[in-house]
């Protein structure tokens, strides 16, 4: 039995989807355990590009059961849109290969509205994806307002719940924001009951399913969304997402105890990117002709979900080391190494300077990290395309040196290197 977790060690968008896709053939079940349709997973398979936000990328493999775990917040509209898109692309989907936890929480339109009003007006505008993720998690924790997927299957109960929740929401919308936008509980209920009929075949207690799968000796692959530095507990708070996006989320978000994990793959880009606001010590904000822009253009660094340009900068091993320790990571996958072919020399941030002192541990608080200045080590670049590399010997010496240095600084082996979006553009280092 193998239980693998693929987790991002930066601020998301580390190209985890490709690694999940590569490892899927060795697994029977692929599980998402956090977040919602704020994630953007791009997978290129047989020359076709799939962009998934909510549904685990494992769905593309016919032998896999894809599971949306209890830790997610699910917008039924997005779920059904993705199912339709996948079906149109020829992927067979039914209640046997796509499971949705009855314990996952449901995103309603008022969550999106709350986010709009909250994020625009808040003192700390986080720059969220605007998908209602944070407000839905708030309602989950509040208990009085949270509605779970399983409740969609009980019409009368759902109507009562929505009447009481929506009344509270409308009071707040009117009082605090003077918002013209209020919601009609009965209309919302009818709308969601119609979605429920299509969701019904997929809904079950996925924790029970996963435990059965474990007992049957099946291999499970846990697919994190976002990156560990966006983890609500361990990331750059408050510029984080609202879930445990590090490997710490597996247990709570799926019901599978962490001790079952046999392999944890930490995925990093060969540089760093970030969408949304928040501190980013190695950011290259060096203008339209600068290296930051060159990396953004070459790496096509625009958000999968929102289309926003991603902020780009050098690799930060202080941050990666923190995330790797937090996740109990065994090995690293280094993605988009080919993008760094456009620079003359490469830099790695090995420490920060904070108030005149050199520090090696990552300060999780955004207001402290904001004051940290990166200390760099510079290595020669390789200035040649890597897209055709298929084995370690195909990589130029300078690129291998860069990877070795990452291993030394993070203290973990690099097992997989990606040199392009296609599955074949991968170098297995062992």
| Binding positions for ligand IMP, 89-108, rule CB under 6 A | none
Radius of gyration of the chain (CA): 22
How far apart are CB 43 and ligand IMP at their closest, in Å? 14
Interface residues for ligand IMP in 295-334 (CB under 6 A)? none
The residue within the footprint of ligand IMP, chosen from 19, 74, 106, 230 (CB under 6 A), is: 230
Does 134 help bind ligand IMP (rule: CB under 6 A)?
Answer: yes
Residues of span 365-404 touching ligand IMP by CB under 6 A? none
Query: DSSP for 379-423?
Result: EE---S--TT--SGGGS-HHHHHHHHHHHHHHTS-EEEEE-SSST
Q: How far apart are the first and last CA of the chain?
A: 22
Catalytic residue among 27, 41, 103, 105: 41
Measured in degrees and rounded to the nearest 5, phi and psi for residue 8 equal: -80, 140
172-178: long-range contacts, CB 8 A cutoff, minimum separation 24: 173/110, 173/113, 173/117, 176/117, 177/117
216's CB contacts (< 8 A; 6+ apart) are none
236, 242, 254, 282: residue in contact with ligand IMP (rule CB under 6 A): 242
Reduced to 3 states (helix: H, G, I; strand: E, B; else coil), residue 250 is helix
State yes or no: is 338 an active-site residue: no
Q: Residue 182's closest CA among 123, 109, 249?
A: 109
CB 378 within 8 A of CB 346: yes
102 catalytic per annotation: no
Binding status of residue 275 toward ligand IMP by CB under 6 A: yes
Catalytic residue among 13, 102, 139, 338: 13
CB of 275 to ligand IMP, least distance (A): 4
Of 14 and 102, which has the nearer Cβ to ligand IMP? 14
Instruction: Give the per-residue contact string, 35-64, with ligand IMP (x = CB under 6 A; - = no).
Output: ---xxx------------------------
Residue nearest to ligand IMP (CB): 276
Binding stretches for ligand IMP (CB under 6 A): 11-13, 38-40, 126-129, 131, 133-134, 225-226, 230, 241-242, 275-276
Active site residues: 13, 41
């Amino acid at each position: 039995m193998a239980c693998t977790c693929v987790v991002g060690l930066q601020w998301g968008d580390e190209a985890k989807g490709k690694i999940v896709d590569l490892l899927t053939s060795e697994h029977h079940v692929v599980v998402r355990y956090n977040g919602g349709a704020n994630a953007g997973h791009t997978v290129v398979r047989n020359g076709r590009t799939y962009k998934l936000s909510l549904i685990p990328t494992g769905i593309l493999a016919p032998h896999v059961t894809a599971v949306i775990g209890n830790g997610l917040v699910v917008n039924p509209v997005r779920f059904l849109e993705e199912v339709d898109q996948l079906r149109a692309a020829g992927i067979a989907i039914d209640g046997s290969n796509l499971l949705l936890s009855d314990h996952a929480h449901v995103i309603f339109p008022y969550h999106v509205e709350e986010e709009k009003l909250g994020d625009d007006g808040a003192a700390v505008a986080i720059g969220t994806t605007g998908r209602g993720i944070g407000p839905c998690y708030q309602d989950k924790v509040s208990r009085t307002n949270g509605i779970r997927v399983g409740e969609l299957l009980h019409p009368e109960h759902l109507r009562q719940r929505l009447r009481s929740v929506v009344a509270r929401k409308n009071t707040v919308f009117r009082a605090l924001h003077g918002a013209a936008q209020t919601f009609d509980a009965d209309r919302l209920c009818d709308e969601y009951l119609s979605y429920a009929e299509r969701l019904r075949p997929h809904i079950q207690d996925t924790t029970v399913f996963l435990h059965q799968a474990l007992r049957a000796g099946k291999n499970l692959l846990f697919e994190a969304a976002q990156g560990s530095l966006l983890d609500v507990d361990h990331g750059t708070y408050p510029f984080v997402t609202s879930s445990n996006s590090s490997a710490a989320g597996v247990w709570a978000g799926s019901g599978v105890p962490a001790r079952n994990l046999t392999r944890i793959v930490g995925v990093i880009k060969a540089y760093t990117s970030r969408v949304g606001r928040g501190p980013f010590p190695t950011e290259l904000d060096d203008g339209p002709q600068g290296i930051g822009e060159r990396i953004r253009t070459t790496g096509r660094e625009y958000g999968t979900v929102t289309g926003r340009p991603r902020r780009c900068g050098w690799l930060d091993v202080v941050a990666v080391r923190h995330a790797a320790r937090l996740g109990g990571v065994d090995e690293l996958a280094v993605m988009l190494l080919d993008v760094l072919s456009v620079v003359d020399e490469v830099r790695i941030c090995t420490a920060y300077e904070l108030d005149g002192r050199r520090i090696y541990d990552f300060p999780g608080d955004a207001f402290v990290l904001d004051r940290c200045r990166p200390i760099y080590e510079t290595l020669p670049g390789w200035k040649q395309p890597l897209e055709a590399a298929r084995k370690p010997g195909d990589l130029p010496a300078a690129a291998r040196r860069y990877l070795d240095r990452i291993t030394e600084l993070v203290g973990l082996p690099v097992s997989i290197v990606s040199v392009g979006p296609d599955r074949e553009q991968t170098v297995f280092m062992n």
